[in-house]
Amino acid sequence: MQRENKRIIISPINLKSQRLPPGQKWIEKLVPYDITSDTNFDIDNYKLEFFGKVKNPFSITYQELLKLPQVEVVADFHCVTHWSVKDIHWEGVQLREILNKVEPTCEYVLVHSKDGYTTNTLTKYLFDDDVILAFKMNGNILPQRHGFPVRLIIPRLYAWKSAKYVCGFEFLQENKLGYWEERGYHNHGDPWKNERYAK
């Protein structure tokens, strides 16, 4: 599907027979959470870094990122605190477009944000068709409280894995827990398996 030369991807999670994960309820709007009140960042000095266990370490500025081919992803959004929002429209760059150049050589990744937040996931998830570096939400530039300048979107996992203000991908040979994972959240975070907290 195309709109203004932009491919539209319906996330596979929206096509599930059970679209609402267990323990969730639909609400109208996203509820923003942050670990700090200081979320104003200098866009002129912004860089997104790819480092660690990769064949080709790489960095890209915000303006360079905007010049890459873009897609729109339509995906439900599931927060670990039991709310979900239908059909968020995210626009940005498929992460795999960059990762194909970077060539990670390991199973794990720790995502870094400008505010000091981190979260972990499996490298293979970053190659999914609907995983993007988003800089627009619902047709508008990504609002500050929702992650400006760039937010990672991983629809298949709970929303804390979709890090806001993202600035780095550290590829690791061994798993390393992120901010909420260190505080008892589940290492994986699949909403349909109810993976909210570590056991």
Say if residues 132 and 84 touch (Cβ distance below 8 Å).
no
Is pLDDT of 37 > 90? no
Structure token pair of residue 47: 């860089």
User: Tell me, what's the pLDDT at 42?
Assistant: 86
Tell me the pLDDT band of 98, cut-offs 50, 70 and 90: very high
Structural domains for the chain: 2-32+56-193 (3.90.420.10)
User: Tell me, what's the pLDDT at 6?
Assistant: 83
In this prediction the pTM is: 0.95
**Chain-centre distance for alpha carbon 38:** 20
Question: What would the mean pLDDT of 67-76 be, rounded to a whole number?
Answer: 97
Residue-wise DSSP of 97-164: HHHHHH-B-SSEEEEEETTS-EEEEEGGGGGSTT-EEEEEETTEEPPGGGTTT-EEE-TTS-GGGS-S
Is pLDDT of 161 > 90? yes
What digits encode the pLDDT tens for the residues 113-122? Answer: 999 999 999 9
User: Tell me, what's the pLDDT at 4?
Assistant: 56
Radius of gyration of the chain (CA): 16
Q: How far apart are CA 106 and CA 86, in angstroms?
A: 33
What digits encode the pLDDT tens for the residues 117-153? Answer: 999 999 999 999 999 999 999 999 999 999 999 999 9
Tell me the pLDDT band of 2, cut-offs 50, 70 and 90: very low
Is pLDDT of 1 > 70? no
Structure token pair of residue 115: 């505010």
User: Tell me, what's the pLDDT at 152?
Assistant: 98
The more confident residue out of 165 and 4 is 165
Tell me the pLDDT band of 87, cut-offs 50, 70 and 90: very high
User: Tell me, what's the pLDDT at 40?
Assistant: 84
Is pLDDT of 32 > 90? yes
The mean pLDDT value of the chain amounts to: 95
Q: How far apart are CA 20 and CA 41, in angstroms?
A: 35
